[in-house]
Amino acid sequence: MSCRVRGPFCPAGAIALLERVSVMELHVPSYAKINLGLWIKGRRDDGFHEIETLLLQVSLKDDIVISDSESDEIELLCSDPTLPGGDDNLCVRAARLLQREAQVGRGAVIRLQKKIPAGAGLGGGSSNAAVVLLALNRLWGLDYGAERLQELAAELGSDVPFFIRGGAALARGRGEILEQVEWRLDLPILLVCPGISVSTAWAYGQFTLDLTMTKKNVTLPHFKGINFNDVDFLGGIENEFEQVVFPKFPILAEIKENLRAQAALYAGLSGSGSAVFGIFRREQEVLEAKRGVSSQFRTFVVRPMRWGIEQMSMDS
């Protein structure tokens, strides 16, 4: 059996054929997410912030090729040399966590081909970590279910549990309390990535308790009773990070207004940024909006999707 891999893992960017001999290997996608609305309810006793947001998986993806290894080493080969390696990388930490939890005496080689921009609020690193858990769960024959994998994922980061199931989900708590929702709106989405680094820790630090509690009852969920398959709900959501991020990075506010002027049903920041996205009714509209900003910034036209443990099981 074999699989093909493109990119810097191959000499001179050529296509290499990797033969499966004594080890097993999986080639798996690692999809991005956007936040449709995000409310910050206050700071918790554990130092995290209580939030409420709607997470939506989208079709922009990294690619991961992961191989079982007879040694107990975890090796990471990444196409982006600027990303951290070793235990500072979420992929390695995810593999070591599962290895330790399941007391597995085997290791893995992880080949990560990056396309999701880092530090953009699109969940690339979190998605990568979740996919490593899913793939090694298969390769090592652990048969852990979604709930157990989400418990482990929560140890790695607030966004990681979402990617175990993917799709669309309401996230509460620090982001790890998830409620899957049905999403049928197959609308085109334009992601605009200006390449600005926005520290999530800095963004949270700009909020005071008074600011987060102004003009809302923090005991009531903002998404209660919403029909997520009716586009009208988009008119009632907001990302509160915009209150502190836009004044410091006004170009992000300009991008949002540009997308709204191009007939976006909704435009806003994803997470704490710096990616800004717009949701459109028609393909022609999203392509026109892309032409208006693509000369200045990286852009991606994507669609909502779902890929997680269920889809991985169906692929087996």
Asked whether residue 173 is assigned to any structural domain, the reply reads: yes
Considering the domain architecture, whether residues 173 and 30 belong to the same structural domain is answered as yes
Asked whether residue 248 is assigned to any structural domain, the reply reads: yes
Q: Are strands 276-279 and 266-269 parallel, antiparallel or unpaired?
A: antiparallel
Residue 16 pLDDT > 80: no
Q: What is the CATH number of the domain that holds 293?
A: 3.30.70.890
Considering the domain architecture, whether residues 118 and 56 belong to the same structural domain is answered as yes
Considering the domain architecture, whether residues 229 and 278 belong to the same structural domain is answered as yes
Domain end position, chosen among 136, 154, 180: 180
The residues, ordered by sequence, that sit 6+ positions from 290 with a Cβ below 8 Å of its Cβ are 190, 299, 301
- pTM value? 0.87
Considering the domain architecture, whether residues 210 and 111 belong to the same structural domain is answered as no
Considering the domain architecture, whether residues 263 and 161 belong to the same structural domain is answered as no
Residue 242 pLDDT > 90: yes
Considering the domain architecture, whether residues 139 and 195 belong to the same structural domain is answered as no
Domain end position, chosen among 146, 180, 214: 180
Residue 219 pLDDT > 60: no
Q: What is the CATH number of the domain that holds 119?
A: 3.30.230.10
Q: Residues 33, 61, 114, 256: which is the catalytic one?
A: 33
CA angle 93, 94, 96 (to 5 degrees): 65
Considering the domain architecture, whether residues 237 and 168 belong to the same structural domain is answered as no
Contact 153, 147 (CB under 8 A): no
Task: Tell me how far CA of residue 8 lies from CA of 80, 89, 114, 136, 304, in angstroms.
Answer: 9, 19, 10, 23, 29
Helix (H, G, I), strand (E, B) or coil at 278: strand
Which band of pLDDT confidence, cut at 50, 70 and 90, is reported for residue 11? Answer: very low
Residue 131 pLDDT > 60: yes
Q: Residues 62, 63, 68, 159: which is the catalytic one?
A: 159
pLDDT digits (tens, 9 = 90+) for 293-316: 989 999 999 999 999 999 988 765
Considering the domain architecture, whether residues 175 and 194 belong to the same structural domain is answered as no
Task: Find tokens 């798996």 and name the residue.
Answer: 28
**155 is in which domain, residue-wise?**
25-180
The pLDDT of residue 50? 83
Asked whether residue 174 is assigned to any structural domain, the reply reads: yes
Asked whether residue 19 is assigned to any structural domain, the reply reads: no
Asked whether residue 315 is assigned to any structural domain, the reply reads: no
Residue 168: burial class (beta carbons within 10 Å; 0-12, 13-18, 19+): buried
Residue 168 pLDDT > 80: yes
Asked whether residue 2 is assigned to any structural domain, the reply reads: no
Domain end position, chosen among 180, 204, 236: 180
Considering the domain architecture, whether residues 170 and 210 belong to the same structural domain is answered as no
Which band of pLDDT confidence, cut at 50, 70 and 90, is reported for residue 42? Answer: confident
Contact 159, 299 (CB under 8 A): no
Report the number of distinct structural domains present in the chain. Answer: 2
Considering the domain architecture, whether residues 200 and 173 belong to the same structural domain is answered as no
Asked whether residue 90 is assigned to any structural domain, the reply reads: yes
C-alpha dihedral, 279 to 283 to 288 to 293, nearest 10°: 50
Let me know if 33 is a catalytic residue. Answer: yes
Helix (H, G, I), strand (E, B) or coil at 116: coil
Which band of pLDDT confidence, cut at 50, 70 and 90, is reported for residue 201? Answer: confident
Question: In the predicted model, what is the mean pLDDT of residues 250-277?
Answer: 96
Considering the domain architecture, whether residues 119 and 201 belong to the same structural domain is answered as no
What is d(CA 59, CA 256) in angstroms, rounded to the nearest whole number?
21
Considering the domain architecture, whether residues 296 and 197 belong to the same structural domain is answered as yes
Asked whether residue 307 is assigned to any structural domain, the reply reads: no
